[in-house]
């Protein structure tokens, strides 16, 4: 099978997961790893399966990812899977549902065979983390506790889970 792993990243979190997925897929398949600005709808057509990765931006897919996803033609032959990283804690279901929903909505609109989504926390940019602290009026101790956990991600365990996700997606494709 020919597989593309494509992603957008600003601070490297989503890239870590993209590399883990690409590494796993490469064990048994021909796989390419490309940044989203290197690909377009025509690139997707060359593959049997495409993994698309994005950071959460304002509760949605990042702009460059959305742009490419929106440009995909209807009913393509390839299958699609999504992955994303976010600063929200893993128990905060709101952002996770929003991003998963965004992938699923585009796939549905385009009649794309969508095979699932992986997500994990990412180490937040310090300025963004500070903005969130202020916007949410988080007390220092609560924020520090959050940050102490957040900076550990994506962890080796997150990368391992991403590999397992990729294996599962592949195993369900004949
Ligand atoms: C402009 C901007 C908006 C963001 N919006 C969200 C958000 O709505 N929810 C969230 O959980 N994280 C949000 N984040 C945090 C990123 O999604 C998170 O740090 C992610 O892991 C970054 O991935 P990257 O290192 O691949 O760029 C935002 C970050 C930026 C820069």
**Residues in CB range of 163: below 8 A, 6 or more apart:** 20, 21, 23, 24
Domains assigned to the chain: 2-122+154-171 (3.40.50.360)
Q: Which two tokens stand for residue 132?
A: 């969130």
pLDDT digits (tens, 9 = 90+) for 83-94: 999 999 877 888
Q: Which residues have C-beta atoms less than 6 Å from ligand 1? A: 9-15, 55-59, 85-88, 95, 122, 124-125, 128
Q: What pLDDT score does 169 carry? A: 98
Q: What is the pTM of this model?
A: 0.97
Q: How far is the CA of 145 from the centre of ligand 1 (A)?
A: 19
CA gap 157, 19 in Å, rounded: 14
pLDDT in tens, 81-138: 999 999 998 778 888 899 999 999 999 999 999 999 999 999 999 999 999 899 989 9
Cα 91 from chain centroid (whole Å):
17
Ligand 1 pocket test: pick from 37, 128, 158 the residue with the most ligand atoms within 8 Å of its Cβ: 128
Q: What is the pLDDT of residues 135-169, one digit of tens each?
A: 989 999 999 999 999 999 999 999 999 999 999 99
**Could you tell me the distance, in angstroms and rounded to a whole number, from the CA of residue 37 to the centre of ligand 1?**
18
**Residue linked to tokens 């004949």:** 174
pLDDT digits (tens, 9 = 90+) for 39-88: 999 999 999 999 999 999 999 999 999 999 999 999 999 999 999 999 99
Nearest CA to ligand 1 atom 18: 86
User: How far does the centroid of ligand 1 lie from the alpha carbon of residue 86, in Å?
Assistant: 5
């Amino acid at each position: 099978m020919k597989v593309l792993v494509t992603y957008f990243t600003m601070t490297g979190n989503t890239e870590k997961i993209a590399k883990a997925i690409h590494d796993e897929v490469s064990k048994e398949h021909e796989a390419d790893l490309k940044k989203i600005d290197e690909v377009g709808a025509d690139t997707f057509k060359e593959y049997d399966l495409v993994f698309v990765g994005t950071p959460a931006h304002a509760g949605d897919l990042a702009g460059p990812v959305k742009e490419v996803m929106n440009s995909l033609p209807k009913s393509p032959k390839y299958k699609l899977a999504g992955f994303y990283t976010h600063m929200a804690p893993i128990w905060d279901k709101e952002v996770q549902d929003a991003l998963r929903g965004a992938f699923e909505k585009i796939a549905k609109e385009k009649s794309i065979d969508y095979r699932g989504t992986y997500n994990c926390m990412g180490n937040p940019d310090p300025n963004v983390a500070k903005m969130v602290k202020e916007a949410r009026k988080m007390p220092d101790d609560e924020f520090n506790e959050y940050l102490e956990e957040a900076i550990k991600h994506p962890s080796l365990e997150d990368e391992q889970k991403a590999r397992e996700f990729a294996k599962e997606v592949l195993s369900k494709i004949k």
